[in-house]
Structures are given as structure tokens and as C-alpha cells.
């Protein structure tokens, strides 16, 4: 299934004759800060303590290699933005996936398919790929973003000081894990229906944060899940993303998913939905 997907996803879907703003330096035409600033923000974010995530990791019995994650986060999460940096989704995804997959062994010969909406620079996709690799579980991450994988741009990160890079170049030192990731370029609203996916064992929804988009992505995933499968929702944060909160509440009430919520701060919350029946 995956080789068919890869051959279909080598470039953006849709009309190639139209100018695509996502391929024309969408995150800026020059570096946004000097190295010292990025390094200071990075070390502040690395020092943050999240007792709720500590508890999740302790209960799951799995902890991501923090040095590996922090090194990756310098290039993929340390950006100039108004809100505080927070890498805790890497810890959540890793622990939840490690907890999940041994309990839900795949039939012999079947690899796990994890769908992600919202790749950005690739941080979360790599944390999920690491969880599969460390668990010894065969499988892939299929991740979708309007941002291209092979067009050089500035990414609003420390690497910009070396000039424009493609995402592939940004992540080049993660070669082994990258073999588990398929990067698809396009709008999830158009892409999802064109992927030919029949099964989604786990999903991480982190693209557009409106109620309608989260529900549409959820319905796509739910139609391809069975008992025991999971979905992780990011930014389940009432003050900032009411659409995500409303979608998660509706899913809990109206669909066969049990919801586990983790509130990390006023600015960041997660929900993990576990499918209760086929």
C-alpha cells in the first residue's frame, strides 16, 4: 500500500500551472533572528517542567530520549513566535505510541500506518517514527502539509542562518527515521480523499484548528479505524482553540471513542481518543 502512496505523493496534488504561495518563501524571505536568540529560546524551552507529562510518561513506562528530542527541537521547534515554545507534544506522542503498539499487536506482515495532519518542519513526525523504531514495530508515518518537502525556503529556525533549505535538508541527519516517513504536500481538505488509505492505526491531528476541519479529519480517520486504534488531538486549549475543544467534546459524546485529556498549561492541552468498538 505504501509504495503505491509514495509514487502518488512525490509532488503536490492539484494544478501545477497555478502559482503556489506555499512554495514561495511562505515563512519569510530572510532569517528572523540571530543564532544567540534561537539558542536562548531553545535552552529556556528545554528547561521547562511539565508534571502532567512526567506523570503520563511514568504511567506509560516509556520516555523519549530527551537529548535526541531537544537536539531535533533546536532545528524544528525553536522559532520566533508570540507564545512560549513548548516541545511537550514530542514526549506525549512518543509515550502514547510506545504504550499503544505493544498492546495492540499488528497481524503478521501488517505494518502500522500513522496519519499526521500538519507536518510543519517534521518534529512530531520524527518523534512518532522514533516510537515505532524503538518499539521494533514495522510501519510508517504519512504526514500532510501545504508546505513542500523539496523546495528551499526559510523555516523561521536557526538553520536559516545557513541560507534557504528544503525540509529534506533540514532533517538530513535523521536519515534512518526518515525512511519511515512519507511527506505529502497539499491541503488536507483535498488530499485525504485522494490518498487511497484503507486503514489508519493511529493519527495525530495538528493542521487547521477549526471545528469543521478537525471534525472532517476525524471522520476520515474514524472510518478507517477499529477497536483499540487511537487519535491524538493537539491544542485542545479552550482560550486559544475553541474549535478543537468543541470537536473533541462532540467526538466524546457521539462516537465510540474514550477520551483522555492532558492539560499542560493554559496554552497547551492534548486529548487522546481510544476506539472502544469496531
Rounded Cα distance, 233 and 230, in Å: 10
> Would you give the binding string for ligand SAM spanning residues 62-81, x where CB under 6 A is met?
--------------x-----
Hey, what long-range contacts does 164-168 have (CB within 8 A, 24 or more apart)? 164/25, 167/119, 167/121, 167/122
Residue 23, interface with ligand SAM (CB under 6 A)?
no
Please tell me the distance from the alpha carbon of residue 46 to that of residue 85, in angstroms, as a whole number: 9
Q: Is 115 helix (H, G, I), strand (E, B) or coil?
A: strand
Measured from the CB atom, the residue of 36 and 82 that comes closer to ligand SAM is 82
Query: Which listed range, 105-113, 155-163, 203-211, 220-228, lies at the site for ligand SAM (CB under 6 A)?
Result: 203-211
Q: Which of 53, 207, 231, 273 binds ligand SAM (CB under 6 A)?
A: 207
Q: Tell me the closest approach of the beta carbon of residue 204 to ligand SAM, in angstroms.
A: 7
156 interacts with ligand SAM by CB under 6 A: no
189 binds ligand SAM (CB under 6 A): yes
Under rule CB under 6 A, residue 145 binds ligand SAM: yes
- Taking the C-alpha atoms of residue 198 and residue 191, their distance in angstroms, rounded to an integer, is 14
* Rounded distance between C-alpha atoms, residue 71 and residue 87, angstroms: 11
Instruction: Tell me the Cα Rg of the chain.
Output: 18
Q: Which one of residues 128, 132, 137, 146 is an interface residue with ligand SAM (CB under 6 A)?
A: 146
Binding region for ligand SAM (CB under 6 A): 76, 89, 118, 120-121, 123-124, 144-147, 187-189, 206-208
Amino acid at each position: 500500500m505504501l509504495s503505491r502512496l509514495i509514487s502518488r505523493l512525490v509532488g503536490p496534488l492539484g494544478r501545477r500551472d497555478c502559482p503556489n504561495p506555499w512554495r514561495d518563501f511562505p515563512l519569510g524571505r530572510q532569517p528572523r533572528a540571530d543564532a544567540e536568540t534561537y539558542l536562548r529560546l531553545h535552552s529556556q524551552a528545554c528547561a521547562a517542567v511539565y508534571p502532567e507529562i512526567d506523570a503520563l510518561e511514568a504511567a506509560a513506562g516509556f520516555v523519549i530520549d530527551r537529548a535526541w528530542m531537544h537536539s531535533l527541537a533546536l532545528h524544528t521547534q525553536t522559532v520566533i513566535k508570540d507564545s512560549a515554545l513548548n516541545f511537550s507534544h514530542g514526549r506525549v506522542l512518543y509515550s502514547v505510541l510506545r504504550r499503544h503498539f505493544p498492546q495492540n499487536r499488528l497481524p503478521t506482515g501488517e505494518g502500522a500506518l500513522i496519519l499526521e495532519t500538519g507536518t510543519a518542519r517534521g518534529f512530531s513526525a520524527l518523534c512518532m517514527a522514533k516510537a515505532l523504531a524503538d518499539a521494533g514495530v514495522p510501519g510508517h508515518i504519512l504526514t500532510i502539509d501545504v508546505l513542500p518537502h523539496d523546495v528551499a525556503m526559510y523555516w523561521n529556525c536557526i538553520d536559516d542562518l545557513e541560507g534557504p533549505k528544503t525540509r529534506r535538508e533540514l532533517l538530513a541527519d535523521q536519515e534512518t527515521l526518515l525512511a519511515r516517513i512519507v511527506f505529502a504536500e497539499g491541503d488536507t481538505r483535498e488530499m485525504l480523499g485522494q490518498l487511497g488509505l484503507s486503514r489508519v492505526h493511529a493519527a495525530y491531528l495538528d493542521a487547521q484548528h477549526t471545528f469543521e476541519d478537525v471534525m472532517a479529519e476525524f471522520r476520515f480517520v474514524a472510518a478507517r479505524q477499529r477497536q483499540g486504534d487511537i487519535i491524538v488531538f493537539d491544542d485542545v486549549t479552550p482560550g486559544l482553540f475553541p474549535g478543537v475543544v468543541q470537536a473533541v467534546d462532540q467526538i466524546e459524546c457521539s462516537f465510540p471513542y474514550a477520551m483522555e485529556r492532558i492539560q499542560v498549561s493554559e496554552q497547551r492541552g492534548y486529548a487522546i481518543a481510544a476506539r472502544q468498538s469496531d
